A and B are shown apart, each in its own frame.
Chain A
Amino acid sequence: MTLGLELRGLDKSFEPENPVLRGIDLSIRRGEFVSLVGSSGCGKSTLLRIIAGLEQADGGRVAIDGREVTYLEPKARRIAMVFQSYALYPHMTVAANIATPLIMSRLHFLARLPLLGALAPGRRQVRSTIDRAVEEVADQLEIRPLLGRKPAQLSGGQRQRVALARAMVRQPSLFLMDEPLSNLDAKLRVHMRGELTDLHRRVGATFVYVTHDQVEAMTMSDRIALMERGAILQFGTPSELYSAPANLRVAQFIGTPSINCFPAEIDSAGTVSCLGRPVSGMVTSETRQRASLAVRPESIRLSARSEDVVFGATLRRIEHHGSEYILFAEPQGRDQLVRIRVSGAALEGQPLAEGQALTIAFSAADAHLFGSDDRRMDVSLFDAPVRLQSA
């Protein structure tokens, strides 16, 4: 099966001493919805622009649908792009905006000229097929009544749809979107999220979607590529990124509230200890280094089981989130707030007050171990009936 998009060893720098992309490799299946996520300035837009052909990479290859396109102009790549600002032509009506890609590809240069064009042979037939295509797309996106308006007369959500229509009209095999929802208000954004997912299902094309919003990435994507400083840290399904982060920074980026990190050490025998206490049953093959133990807020419990890692802590803050609570607790002797997610039901009949003492615990099976280079470390777990006493 050919790949929808294949990137091999893409490098890019605008200033020699400051590489923006460093050896990007990515294989995206045909019809897949892939998100590029990462913090601001990590090179997402640059990567997307290289895929589109708007920017030339310093090295590496781009292939779309099995066809090498590294040196092709954007229009020859069978792609469409939706920009953050929508980039609609403000002087054209909605219909003319949507028709532009078809006019450019189907009408000869002379036939496109404002006055002379009317004389070109065959122009009438081509124009009418274009008009029909525009109306068809407008119907799909329910913007038919807007076709006669100018972009300035549209709301943000309507402009978004027009931009989508302009992208869809020439039926590209690859859709590129650079933060298309970031200019919309929160409610509309959630709504458009659903519409984009539907659209992806209907057209069946490959989507590459840039966002810095992890919720968008988690909810819409088949797979997520998480970028940092010009490199891809992990490429996998949303659940892989959440439950088996390959890198400490992936673990920290994905999930709200974000994951708890505790400093850990590994001794010469490969035994892991956290905050000075050995973690029962956790052993790794690598030895003698500083490490981090990361635990999701929902994996931290307020009652200890025998094999758990246990801390004494003080409750500092309680946040109500409807069906659940987020607790912020300060472990004794540490300047750190541990985030704990508990369901409302679990707290029933157990009233909590800020300032009260808590026992917090997690089991080694729920903890992720990351080495000093932030890479995930393999651990072997076995049940050790040793109870570690808290300080």
Chain B
Amino acid sequence: MSAISLPTDISRRRDRRRGYAESLKGWTFVSPAALLLMLIYLVPLAMLLALSVTDYQLGAVVTGFVGLDNFERAFADPVFQRAFSNTLLYVAIVIPFGVGLALVIAILIHQRRRTRSLYEIIYFLPVTATLVAMATVWQFILHPRLGPVNKLLQTLGLPETHFLSDPALIVPTLAAIGVWQVVGFNVILFLAGLTAIPRELYDAARVDGASAPLDRFLTVTWPQLGPTTMFVTVTTSITAFKVFETVAVLTKGQRGTEVLLYAIYLEGFQYFEMGYAAALTLVFMTFVLLLSVWQTFHLDRRVHY
């Protein structure tokens, strides 16, 4: 027996040594990517977590551990609550219009042959423009006395409307600008989805009797666009949750128009409450993450076949 066990023993040891060498090689290959991932994503996230349980203020000398106080304060804070509901309203307007309008426009453009790329460029322009700069343009357009929108309303005999100072109108107005900003990108995504639908499916639908535009849409286009629609909806909602520039330029959060990101910005960079801002950021991130995961899983089941 020993004559047999000896060589296996040696080979097992050799195997183990080869195993170490193998895994060392593996770690070497993985390390650059792992290191970057750590530095760029995981370390900042960990620091955020750490900050959120302290009362750290920018430039403060002493910093103490406060546990979950920051979170308790956040949920009791009327400003944060207002920011939360404003953001929800904003998102609730931007998602259906930003997605629906883009779908309609994409279908209309898709039917054009020669002018298609012209329309693509026109609708894509807002995506390339800096929102901060464009926000000032919107400020002019919506100005109560000088803006063309109010001129138009006046000629129609409607009263002067203060889009950017009437508390009931501010968030919907910001949302409209948000829609204007995301539609172009979504149109491009939907156009890519439309191009990928096989022509034979439309032919089959026509032979089967689905030749009216709405029948064709319900039988072929809409189901075939499922994966695209899901992607567009998820990215649009993330973009919408991150609304910041228009608020910063147009209202500065006055008259109760704080949104989540703007509230965080105020706490962190105006009042230097870094610990509190970190807690708000964490709440914000968790919320967006949960929503995206829910959307993905919920829609995924109905979209893929």
Question: Taking beta carbons and an 8 Å cutoff, which residues of A are in contact with B?
Answer: 49, 52, 54, 73-75, 79-81, 83-85, 87-92, 100-101, 104-105, 109, 112, 114, 150-152, 166
Task: Kindly identify which residue among B200, B201, B206 contacts A74, using a CB–CB cutoff of 8 Å.
Answer: B206
Nearest CB of chain A from residue B305's CB, rounded to whole Å: 5
Contact among B207, B220, B223 with A75 in the assembled complex (CB-CB below 8 Å):
B207
CA distance A92 to B210 in the complex (A): 15
A87→B305 contact, CB < 8 A:
no
Q: Are A104 and B200 in contact (CB under 8 A)?
A: no
> CB-nearest residue of chain B relative to A152?
B305
Note all chain A residues with C-beta closer than 8 A to B220: 89
CA distance A309 to B82 in the complex (A): 102
Interface members, chain B 181-229 (any A CB < 8 Å):
198, 200-201, 203-212, 214-215, 218-220, 223-224, 226
Contact of B208 among A49, A84, A152, A166 (CB under 8 A): A166
Residue of A nearest to B211 (CB): A73
Interchain CA distance A75-B203 in the complex, whole Å: 11
**Contact assessment for B208 and A101 in the assembled complex, using a CB-CB cutoff below 8 Å:** yes
The CA of A73 and the CA of B201, in the complex, are separated in Å by 16
Tell me if A91 and B223 are in contact (CB < 8 A). Answer: yes
Smallest distance from the beta carbon of A92 to chain B beta carbons, Å? 8
Which 10 pairs from chain A and chain B are nearest by CB? A104-B209, A87-B204, A75-B209, A91-B223, A87-B200, A101-B208, A74-B207, A83-B200, A81-B207, A91-B305
Residues of B within 8 A of A (CB): 198, 200-201, 203-212, 214-215, 218-220, 223-224, 226, 305
Contact between chains at A90 and B305 (CB < 8 Å): yes
Set of chain A residues within 8 Å of B210, measured between Cβ atoms: 100, 104
CA distance A83 to B208 in the complex (A): 12
Other than A75-B207, A89-B205, give 15 A-B pairs with Cβ distance below 8 A.
A74-B207, A75-B206, A81-B204, A87-B201, A87-B203, A89-B220, A90-B224, A91-B223, A100-B209, A101-B209, A104-B208, A104-B215, A109-B212, A112-B215, A114-B218
Q: Which residues of A contact B200 (CB under 8 A)?
A: 83-85, 87
B211 to chain A, nearest CB (A): 6
19 sampled A-B residue pairs with Cβ under 8 A: A52-B203, A52-B207, A73-B211, A74-B206, A81-B203, A83-B200, A83-B203, A85-B200, A87-B198, A87-B200, A87-B203, A89-B201, A89-B204, A90-B223, A100-B210, A100-B219, A101-B207, A101-B209, A104-B209
Within the assembled complex, what's the spacing in Å between the Cα atoms of A109 and B215? Answer: 9
Hey, which chain B residues are within 8 Å of A75, CB to CB?
Answer: 206-209, 211
Q: Do B209 and A83 have beta carbons less than 8 Å apart?
A: no
List chain B residues, Cβ under 8 A from A85: 198, 200
A291 to B: closest C-beta gap in Å: 44
Interface centre among B201, B208, B219 (most CB of A within 10 A): B208
Whether the pair A54, B206 counts as a contact (CB closer than 8 A) is: yes
Q: How far is the CA of A85 from the CA of B197 in the complex (A)?
A: 13
Chain B residues with CB below 8 A from A84, complex form? 200
Q: How many Å from the CB of A244 to the closest CB on chain B?
A: 37
Q: Which residues on A sit within 8 Å (CB–CB) of B208?
A: 75, 100-101, 104, 166
Which of A74, A75, A87 has most chain B Cβ within 10 Å? Answer: A87
Which chain B residue lies CB-closest to A85?
B200
Specify which chain B residues have a CB less than 8 angstroms from the CB of A74 in the assembled complex: 206-207, 211
Q: Which residues of A contact B305 (CB under 8 A)?
A: 90-91, 150-152
